[in-house]
Amino acid sequence: MRTQVAIIGAGPSGLLLSQLLHKAGIDAVIVERVSGAHVLSRIRAGVLEQVAIDLLDEAGVGARMHREGLVHGGFGMLYAGRRHRIDMNTLTGGKNVMVYGQTEVTHDLMDARTAAGLPTYYEASDVQVLDFDTQRPRVSFTHAGQSYELQCDFIAGCDGFHGVCRASVPRQSIEEFEKVYPFGWLGLLSDTPPVHDELIYVNSPRGFALCSQRSKTRSRYYLQVPLTDRIEDWTDAAFWQELRLRLDEEANAKLITGPSIEKSIAPLRSFVTEPMRFGRLFLAGDAAHIVPPTGAKGLNLAATDVKYLCNALVDYYQAHSEAGIDGYSARCLRRIWKAERFSWWMTSLMHRFPDDGPITSRFQEAELDYLLNSHAGSLSIAENYVGLPLDFAEPAQ
Ligand code: APR
Ligand code: PHB
């Protein structure tokens, strides 16, 4: 079996890459470890930057997002019992974000791939990426009891944090940067109307909380919890009670509670791999980097990696130029480090760290007071939250 680009992983990175390549007339085969239903069962963040919205449109899968997604021009920050609004739209001269769940994005991409009749091997086992340091890389895997070998020009490692691609790179060729945070996020999804029409990020003495949403009838809430907490010990009633203790009076008056339809605890991590290209193997999305969810940059970064990779492959096949693939890693990393910095900073500003004393809470309050009352401070938050442009800080040619 032969293709131009073998894509490992059918998460948002792999699916979006395949769709952009298809539009550009480049062939790809996707090999995914789990079933399509399993991929769709993962609940993740749902805030899309303008750059990601544009990419979904470019991939031809934006119609439902524009119909059902919610355009948000601002969000709230609550601290010291007071709520402030970051008016992203006004501060950035008209930019917004779109609230549309990652599950829906993945669904739309899967439907488009199926409609185009493009090959995806779900539930593939023993996936191996081979010979990517030569001109003839290969991928081997087992599917429905049969062994396959896929020959290709390039391998795109879109297989997430625990995938096989990054793990197949010789240790001496890769540098990893990591920070693990001393708490987790307990998330609850419920079919109840959101407490507010915009998101609210909360710094409270009892820890961080976030009021998010998926639609006008589906809410997503999060609580900072110790990593030692177990999900079985968090009843829905306990969750709602703790959330109330972290919100302001106005939100409490409007909060509508209901049974959870999903509840889980996720750890928080900052992680970056350098470089992101190894011969003819490229890493993209969570395979190369993880951000803590504060600021919702994960999916957006995955989308922009994939855009850079698609551009590089189009240059290779259409203009016979290797400049794009040679520059892939540096171009991605410039953007990734800025989003990593923002996510780490927002995490540090909004959470209680177990080893910090009361002075740190006062520092946080003072910083929030400064930022939210200063045009420059608010603009800096807004500009990062809506997402930096694709060519931000590109060196002049
Ligand atoms: N072989 C084939 N597929 C694999 C393998 C393997 N050995 N290992 C993992 N996979 C698959 C996973 O099953 C998963 O479906 O790769 C896919 C990776 O998908 P994601 O983890 O969703 O990563 P990515 O597509 O880069 O999406 C990034 O996900 O975690 C969020 O915040 C993040 O929103 C961002 C997005
Ligand atoms: C979510 O809706 O899941 C979400 C939103 C914003 C974040 C993180 C998660 O910063």
The CATH T-level fold of domain 5-50+99-177+269-361 is: FAD/NAD(P)-binding domain (3.50.50)
* Contact (CB, 8 A) for 202 and 208: yes
Protein residue whose Cα sits closest to atom 5 of ligand 2: 45
How many angstroms separate the alpha carbon of residue 249 from the centre of ligand 1? Answer: 39
Alpha carbon separation from 207 to 176, 184, 225 (Å, rounded) = 29, 11, 8
149-186 in b/e burial notation, b at 16+ Cβ within 10 A? ebebbbbbbbbbeebbbbebbeeeebeeeeeebebbbb
Residue 187 has pLDDT above 90, yes or no: yes
271-297 tens-digit pLDDT: 999 999 999 999 999 999 999 999 999
- pLDDT confidence of 53, banded at 50, 70, 90? very high
- What tokens were used for 188? 């609850």
Task: Report phi then psi at 121, rounded to 5.
Answer: -100, 100
Residue with the smallest CA separation from ligand 2 atom 6 is 296
Residue nearest to atom 35 of ligand 1 (CA): 299
pLDDT computed for residue 92 by the predictor: 97
| Ligand sitting nearest the alpha carbon of 284 | 1
Spatial contact of 176 and 272, defined as CB atoms under 8 Å apart: yes
Decide if 293 is catalytic: yes
Which pLDDT belongs to residue 397? 66
Strands (E), 132-174: 138-143, 146-151, 154-157
Question: Position of tokens 């900073």?
Answer: 345
Task: Tell if the pTM clears 0.95, that is, is over it.
Answer: yes
* pLDDT of the residue at 46: 86
pLDDT of residue 267: 97
Examine the residue annotation and report whether 216 is marked as an active-site residue of this protein. Answer: no
Q: Residues with beta carbon inside 6 Å of ligand 2?
A: 45-47, 199, 210, 212, 220, 293-296
Mind listing the pLDDT tens digit for each residue in 1-34? 999 999 999 999 999 999 999 999 999 999 999 9
Q: Percent of the chain, pLDDT > 70?
A: 100
Residue tagged 């029409």 (tokens): 197
